[in-house]
Chain A
Amino acid sequence: MAHPSQLGFQDAASPVMEELLHFHDHALMIVFLISTLVLYIIVAMVTTKLTNMFLLDSQEIEIIWTILPAIILILIALPSLRILYLMDEINNPHLTVKAIGHQWYWSYEYTDYQEIAFDSYMVPTQDLAPGQFRLLEVDHRMVVPTEAPVRVLVTAEDVLHSWAVPSLGVKMDAVPGRLNQTAFIASRPGVFYGQCSEICGAKHSFMPIVVEAVPLKYFQDWSTLMLEDA
């Protein structure tokens, strides 16, 4: 989850998010280098007493500062496209979960075998236990097995919502009447938080998403428990 005075991304919990993180580092480094160079040149130009009133043209530097940016752009574009196509790969999911947005809570359905369905409301601030996170905790988390490709089908029952979990590198709009597919693999066990990402009314900020990734055995135990409780 996010922590106070955070500057960068949350720790990655899926392979795609790891790639995105590394790409961001790469692109940001290029941006910093260019900005430093430009700032240096500006300061140098402004602070010098030397003048040159007879500068007409210079082919060499024009060529350099055309070719070099083109090369830099290619160096940014290639990893970017690689990740774009990586995210589009056909993965054969082991599990399908439906995330349905309502005003103002999410509901999850696991209907591959039996039918498990439950609502996921935010825990109000006054009901939080010590150590829990304000505006992020929910009463029923979406549990998934680790290391398994999971397909999430996102839709909404009333207005637009958006299902987002930054650690997993996932965000997908929830549109009424439409079923949007996204997928992720949780590389490690853990609890991953997200928040509704499309304005949907008064309590838009109070319908968080919590994904709990556990080893398969514990996922099976949880699903058995959920079926018994139903």
Chain B
Amino acid sequence: MTHFPTFASLTERTSEGKETHSISTVNMADVIESKIKNYRTAPFDSRFPNTNQTRNCFQNYLDFHRCNKALSAKDQDTTPCDWYQRVYKSICPSVWVNNWDEGIEEGSFAGRV
């Protein structure tokens, strides 16, 4: 019986691609990896405890792009950024995400990445 697709392939890719970094980076990546593997849905975020979750969605979108930008600039593995992507994909309406993605491509995105 088919279940929800797991991200086993992601885990394999990550374990194959993992190089010898400093101890802290490897542990961080492990932690993120296990969090993503056991991901159900976006967990409660105490920064946004109230009904209005608009900022929660936008913040995770920003954080994903900022994380990607920062880690790519240092030529590091961007796997830890996947957490933010899972969260914003869970929370944000796809219309919003598409608009923002277009904005980023065209350079008209209003947020500071």
Contacts and interface: CB of A to CB of B under 8 A. Distances in A.
Interface of A: 90-96, 98, 100, 109, 111-115, 117, 151, 153, 155, 157, 172, 177-182, 217, 220-221, 223-224
B41 A220 contact: no
Interface string B82-105: 000010011111110000000000
A97 B92 CA distance: 10
Chain B contact patch, size range: 20 to 34
B95 A157 contact: yes
A190 to B, nearest CB: 23
Given A92-B43, A177-B54, A109 B4 contact: no
Contacts of A179: 52-54, 56-57, 91-93
Nearest to A117: B94
Nearest to B56: A179
B94 A223 contact: no
Interface SS of chain B: helix, strand, loop or mixed?
Answer: loop
Nearest to A91: B44
Contacts of A177: 54
Interface of B: 1-5, 39-44, 49, 51-54, 56-57, 86, 89-95
Given A111-B89, A115-B94, A153-B91, A95 B40 contact: yes
28 contacts: A92-B44, A93-B42, A95-B40, A95-B41, A111-B90, A111-B94, A112-B41, A112-B42, A113-B4, A115-B89, A115-B94, A151-B42, A153-B53, A153-B93, A155-B93, A177-B54, A178-B52, A178-B54, A179-B53, A179-B56, A179-B91, A180-B52, A180-B53, A181-B51, A181-B52, A182-B51, A220-B1, A224-B2
Contacts of A98: 91, 93
Given A92-B43, A181-B52, A220-B4, 5 more contacts: A109-B94, A112-B39, A115-B89, A117-B94, A217-B1
A111 B97 CA distance: 12
A220 B51 contact: no
